[in-house]
Amino acid sequence: MDILPILSTLRRHKLTSWLLILEIALTCAIVCNAVFLIGQRLQRMDMPSGVAEHELLQIQVADVMTPSNPYARLAEDIAVLRQVPGVQSVASSNQVPFGNSSSNANIRLDPAQQERTLNATTYFGENLSQTLGTRLVSGRDLQPDDFVDVEAALKALGTGDSKSLPHVTLITQALAERLWPGQNPLGRIIYLTPVVGLRVVGVLDSLARPNAYDTAQAQYTTVMPLRMGADKDLSYLIRTRPEDRANVLAAALAALKKADPQRVVTIKRSFDDVRQKFFQDDRAMAGMLVGVIVALLIVTALGIVGLASFWVAQRRRMIGVRRALGATRANILHYFQTENFLLATIGIALGMVLAYGINLFLMLHYELPRLPAVYFPVGAIVLWLIGQVAVLGPAMRAAAVPPVVATRSV
Amino acid sequence: MFSYYLDLALRSLRRNKALTALMVLAIALGIGASMTTLTVLHVLSGDPLPGRSAQLYYPQIDPQDIKGMQPDKEPPDQVTLIDGMNLLHAKRADRQALMSGGSVPIQPLQSSLDPFYVETRYTTADFFPMFGTPFLYGHGWNAADDEAKARDVVIAKSLNDKLFAGADSVGRTLRMAGASFRVVGVLDSWQPNPHFYDLNTGSYAYAEQVFLPFQTMLDLHLSRNGSNDCWGNGGGGSGSILPSDDCVWLQFWVQLDSAAKAAAYREFLVHYSQEQKVLGRFQRAPNVRLRNVMQWLRYQMVVPDDVRLQTGLAFGFLLVCLVNTVGLMLAKFMRRAAELGVRRALGASRRALFTQLLVESGVIGLFGGIGGLLLALFGLWLVRQRPSAYAALAHLDISMLFTTFVLALCATLLAGLLPAWRACQIAPALQLKSN
């Protein structure tokens, strides 16, 4: 196909051509960035938690009156829950991955250090690794004699009484790699305060933070041997088989209620619900982005249909003359297809530059990574396809113009 | 003349229905999307207490130890118990309140109701007059009740409806966390958005059901919600143990009725910090901030990033829709070159033609605006189905309704300018001759 005649025709319709090019460029730029954003969100929603997600239940109960001995109360509750048929393991925990509500600590590698090295989350509670299903990659798990009571530890913080403070901790692989890149973390010490130094005794494969907003820091996690008493902020975590979850949850709640009818259940859910709730905004955002992309492509396609139809109508005589001079229907069809391809190509080229610019802006304001180059050819192919599909109808109508039109005056 | 142009416009639009529909649809989609997101942004970045917020300030001071100090670092977002009490008792502002969030179990007297937990605010007395909370029955407590650790409670309308069937419950007894309280006031529906005075609870659509004197909470060891930030050997507190003196965990608000008073209060905060440093409590040089409500909300960046991103995206979409409309309108106007040529030859001035064409694009804008409004209402309905806390707030108000039409009309008139101008450049003779 000879493109020179097409270019010379387009030169006579400069304004309209440029508008079409501009529309394609804007669409291309927005679609590239929107698809990239969707990818980011989907990737975030896939964030690993490190726990046996489909086998876990979370229950929080609150007493109306603070029990006189919260530790005894906790032991009773755990015993009650262990009796429930289908329960494989029960843990108490101050928090759960993706649970939002979190306890965190500033970590230093040297007690005299001015700035913290980083901020990590602190899990505590009993029987956690076994119930959550976290995998130990090296070292050992926490032992019963590592544990101290959390209230005693809090008091000891002020007095400096080191006997009541915890001395060991588990950390995740990601945290170990961040603190001591390429070295063996076992036996090393992290400091939470100038007096609280914890020796790393075990490394966990993975355990996400409750507040995993930032992917890079999502695995900065420690597990400490602190024993808590029954409290409204304490969770009971139950491990069971996936198919038993609903039954076990109902039975566990009934058992807890039976032990003390006066208390209030504030949280009862499966870990699937926890994940679903934590990432709900990301899911909504991804959905909205898909909607915008579809709407944009439709509007652009309809715009191309409209303009192409107008051009075809305007050039009926010209088409008739060409047909009368021997051009085949295929020639006419190809003419309009090539014309659209040319305009789309210029639009896409401009769109790429614009997409890159928008990405730079987003990187500056929303902490997004750089747009990977793979999005450019994908965006180009999508827009070429849309353009060709949109122009097909008007081009076929053009091809159907009979040669006799040339002899008629309008 | 206008009605004649309007008639011409309608005729012309009717002649090519598909093209007209396409243009109206494009405008409507663009307007609908941008108005939906703009309304959400408008609602979320709104003033929680119009008329009062400019006089309400959130003092920040820096009690942290010397470790990690940097000259231009912001002080903590909350205050310690000691500083909160000191500032409260100094009474240097027109009004002041020290507060914290929490939750308490209600034990209804009716046997038909199980005990339940409600969101609670522990605060000192000025909270009510300072924030202008509307009372349905009764009133708040006073500073003497604060000091006496009074067992007084103010409850929200919804809780009053639930427990007392909406009756005037002032003077009645309410059992909470094993203690008896006397209802002194019932608030009418009150929910400032964002929940500016304590953003730890979540910024939107959060309302406390129960308000208790702050010192009563300390006395009864009631449970607190919120964030503790500690330094040195500070411990965040757990169960009945309060956060230590090296932790900030309380919000302190003041009312300052004039700019001069605000400046004086700032001076006072610097002074207070110096004094505490001399006493050895503070280690850092005075580092104070005094932001009013809107400044505080901006500093805390309460509006979610996603909402801004969506608004930007929607306006990008509107831009594409407009470019699309400009192209289609240009095509349409140019196609009528002959008709315009005849009108020019018959004596119509360029200006008259230009006006006629602009009226036509205005009509498209009007229809696009109506369509956009319907789409925006639908879009906001969709937003309300979302699970986000702020979703329920997404409603169109009068000002946004007005904005929708202004935006639609301006956008289409702007889009019509170029095609109309281009069409008016046609030489009449040429058009008459060729056809």
Contact B317 A30 (CB under 8 A): yes
Measured in degrees and rounded to the nearest 5, phi and psi for residue B269 equal -65, -40
Q: Could you say which of A234, A250, A278 is where a domain stops? A: A278
| Most A-contacting residue of B238, B245, B332, B430 (CB-CB within 10 A), to test interface | B238
Q: Is the pLDDT of residue B435 over 50?
A: no
The structure's pTM equals 0.85
| One domain for residues A126 and A185 | yes
Q: Are residues B117 and B245 in the same domain?
A: yes
Residue of A nearest to B19 (CA): A306
- What is the distance in angstroms between the Cα of B22 and the nearest Cα belonging to chain A? 7
Q: Taking CB atoms and an 8 Å limit, are B304 and A158 in contact across chains?
A: no
3-class DSSP assignment, residue B278:
helix
Domain end marker among A233, A260, A278: A278
Q: Which long-range contacts (CB under 8 A, 24 or more apart) does B355-359 make?
A: B355/B1, B355/B5, B356/B5, B356/B8, B356/B9, B357/B333, B357/B416, B357/B419, B357/B420, B357/B423, B357/B424, B358/B413, B358/B416, B358/B417, B358/B420, B359/B2, B359/B5, B359/B6, B359/B8, B359/B9
What CA–CA distance (Å, rounded) separates A400 from B12? Answer: 27
Q: Is the domain of B189 the same as that of B235?
A: yes
Q: How many domains does chain A have?
A: 2
> Residue B327 and residue A19: Cβ atoms within 8 Å?
yes
Count of domains in chain B? Answer: 2
Q: Which residues of B touch A306 (CB under 8 A)?
A: 19, 22, 327-328, 331
pLDDT at B406 over 70: yes
**Under an 8 A CB cutoff, do A288 and B105 touch?**
no
Of the candidates B141, B253, B131, B117, the residue with the CA atom closest to the CA atom of residue B192? B131
pLDDT of residue A298: 92
Cα B393 to the chain's mean position, in Å? 9
Domain termination residue (choose one: B265, B299, B333):
B299
Residues A223 and A362 occupy one common structural domain: no
pLDDT at A85: 94
The residue from B248, B272, B299 where one domain ends is B299
Instruction: For residues A154 and A126, give the distance between their C-alpha atoms in angstroms, rounded to a whole number.
Output: 18
Q: Which residue of A has its CA nearest to B320?
A: A23
- Residues 317 to 336 of B: which have CB under 8 A from any A CB? 317, 319-321, 323-324, 326-328, 330-332, 334-335
Closest CA relative to residue A51, chosen from A159, A174, A198, A207: A207
Average pLDDT score over residue span B344-372: 87
Q: By the CB < 8 Å criterion, does B178 face chain A? A: yes
Given A278, A303, A319, the domain boundary residue is A278
- Please provide the size of chain B in residues: 435
**pLDDT, greater one: B69 or B100:** B100
Predicted pLDDT at B188: 94
Give residue B430's pLDDT: 66
Owning domain of residue A273? 53-278
Q: Which of B299, B331, B354 is the C-terminal boundary of a domain?
A: B299
Same domain, yes or no, for A17 and A137? no
Question: Is there a single domain that holds both residue B80 and residue B194?
Answer: yes
pLDDT, tens digit, 9 for 90 and up, residues B155-177:
999 999 999 999 999 999 999 98
For residues A182 and A235, state if they share a domain.
yes
Domain match, B27 and B142 both: no
Residue B169, domain extent: 53-299
> Which has the higher per-residue pLDDT, B403 or A384?
A384
Q: A307 and A259 in one domain?
A: no
Residues A334 and A386 reside in one and the same domain: yes
pLDDT tens digits, one per residue of B247-261: 999 999 999 999 999
Contacts of A289 (CB under 8 A, 6+ apart): A34, A35, A37, A38, A41, B313
Q: How far apart are CA A200 and CA A274, in angstroms?
A: 29
Instruction: Give the pLDDT means over successive 10-residue stretches in chain A (410 positions).
Output: 77 84 93 91 92 94 85 92 94 93 89 88 91 93 91 81 88 95 94 88 95 90 92 92 94 91 89 93 90 91 88 85 88 90 93 92 84 85 92 91 74
Quote the minimal CA–CA distance from B71 to chain A in Å: 14
pLDDT value, residue A140: 94
Neighbours of A108 (CB within 10 A): 22
B272 and B176 inside one domain: yes
* The pLDDT of residue B66 is above 70: yes
> Structure tokens of B78?
């909350």
**What digits encode the pLDDT tens for the residues B28-50?**
999 999 999 999 999 888 899 99
**CB-based burial label for B326 (10 Å; 0-12, 13-18, 19+):** buried
> Residue B318's closest chain A neighbor by CA?
A296
Look at residue A1 in the predicted model and tell me its pLDDT: 56
Mean pLDDT of chain B: 89
| Cα torsion through B307, B310, B316, B321, rounded to 10 | -120
